[in-house]
Every structure is written in structure tokens, then in C-alpha cells.
Chains A and B, each alone.
Chain A
Amino acid sequence: NAGVTQTPKFQVLKTGQSMTLQCAQDMNHEYMSWYRQDPGMGLRLIHYSVGAGITDQGEVPNGYNVSRSTTEDFPLRLLSAAPSQTSVYFCASSLVNTDTQYFGPGTRLTVL
């Protein structure tokens, strides 16, 4: 199994540009989540999904959209990037009724 994969690893955007961060898992996990990590801070939850077709907001959802059309994929969309969205983004997944999340390697995003 590849586990949780994320693309791209690095991205630089200009303010106002849009992009999609990709996340995929091959472990047949129902739960998937997106977190952001800012320097010197822990991870903060952006959006999460408990299964295909079901998503909900986390602690810091503003400026981000998600969708879950398949069990495997959970893309995160930035519609109009802002410098405040400069961060490292982590995708995670877990089995139903467990709390042990498996994290991807992260995407480092810089918005100029």
C-alpha cells in the first residue's frame, strides 16, 4: 500500500490564484481530513469527511472547499489564494470508528 499520498509537495501561488491540493489513500479508509500547520503550531482541522459524498467543516474552513466523490480521494480547493493561507497542508485518513489517523507527507504552499 502507498498509504496516504499528496500532490504537489511544493507550490507557490500569487494572491487570487486558485488551485487544488490532491490527496489519495489506498487503505479503504472511510474518514479523511485536511489539516494546516503553521510555524511553531500544531495542526488545525480545515475540513473532514466521514465517507463519499459527506463533508463537514473543521476549525478553520474559511477560504477552502472540499468534495468527496470517491472513498479514495479528498481534494482541497483554494478558490482565491491569500497570503494567510501560506502553510503546510496535511491530509489524513482513518478507519471507521477508530481515531488513529494516518498522515500524508504534506504540501508546502506559499502564497505571494
Chain B
Amino acid sequence: GESVGLHLPTLSVQEGDNSIINCAYSNSASDYFIWYKQESGKGPQFIIDIRSNMDKRQGQRVTVLLNKTVKHLSLQIAATQPGDSAVYFCADPGGLAAGGTSYGKLTFGQGTILTVHP
């Protein structure tokens, strides 16, 4: 079946380094992806999203890259801080046509645990 998956379950970095979290997807019709951050004991929190008509999108200290050819996206965090330690998920609303909506349904990957050491 269709799935959204992550290459590495854990990632450890030093404070100040850049972090790269990867995500692979299998549904070639997927056209919208969302990255969530989940801190311990809390619900997921929206970080950034990207649509398939874009290859790159930048936010505050975060950049998401989308490679539709190999069905891969990545989340880059610049100057990683201890407060960035969390589980990061990529999520897919399910391969809808551009302008469509998931109607409240998201498929989540397993997650990558990011640990930032001071």
C-alpha cells in the first residue's frame, strides 16, 4: 500500500550544526507534504509544508526540499538548538489533485528522533 517513510529513526547532532531529516514517499500522486515536530508529551506541531509545484521552501531556520523524481523530501534545520530536540514527522494528505484537500486525513511516517547535544 501507499506509505510515507523515513530513512533513519534517530539523528544526533551537536548544537550549532545543521540537521537534515529525510522522508521517502511511495504515492507518485502525492502533491503536498507537511512536516510536524512533536516534543515529548505534546501533540505534533506544524513546522512547514510544501506543494509539488515547488522544489524548495524556506521558513525560519528550516528548509524543505522536494525531489519528485525520486519521491523524496528532506527537512533541513540550520544552526540546530537544544530546543529542536523532538520527533519529526513528514505527513501526506494522500495524493490529492492540486487544490484538493485531505478532509482532515493525514498519513504520517514513523518519525525521526532528533537529539541535539549542547
Stretch of A14-22, A77-85, A96-104 at the chain-chain interface: A96-104
Query: Which of B32, B43, B110 is in CB contact (< 8 Å) with A105?
Result: B43
Instruction: Give residues of chain B (58-88) contacting chain A, Cβ–Cβ below 8 Å.
Output: none
| Minimal Cβ-Cβ distance residue in B for A101 | B106
* CB-based contact A42/B110 at 8 Å: yes
Q: Is the CB of A71 closer than 8 A to any CB of chain B?
A: no
Instruction: Give residues of chain A (82-112) contacting chain B, Cβ–Cβ below 8 Å.
Output: 90, 92-94, 96-106
Would you give 23 A-B contacts (Cβ < 8 Å), ordered by A? Answer: A31-B104, A32-B104, A33-B106, A35-B108, A40-B110, A41-B110, A42-B108, A42-B109, A42-B110, A43-B44, A45-B107, A48-B103, A48-B105, A58-B105, A59-B107, A92-B43, A93-B104, A94-B104, A99-B34, A100-B46, A100-B49, A103-B44, A104-B43
Complex interface: chain B residues within 8 A of A104 (CB): 43
Complex interface: chain B residues within 8 A of A105 (CB): 41-43
Complex interface: chain A residues within 8 A of B32 (CB): 99
A57 CB → nearest B CB, Å? 10
In Å, the complex CA distance between A32 and B3 comes to 22
| Minimal Cβ-Cβ distance residue in B for A30 | B104
B: interface residue count bin: 20 to 34
Interface residues of A (CB under 8 A from B): 4, 31-33, 35, 40-45, 48-50, 58-59, 90, 92-94, 96-106
* CB-based contact B104/A33 at 8 Å: yes
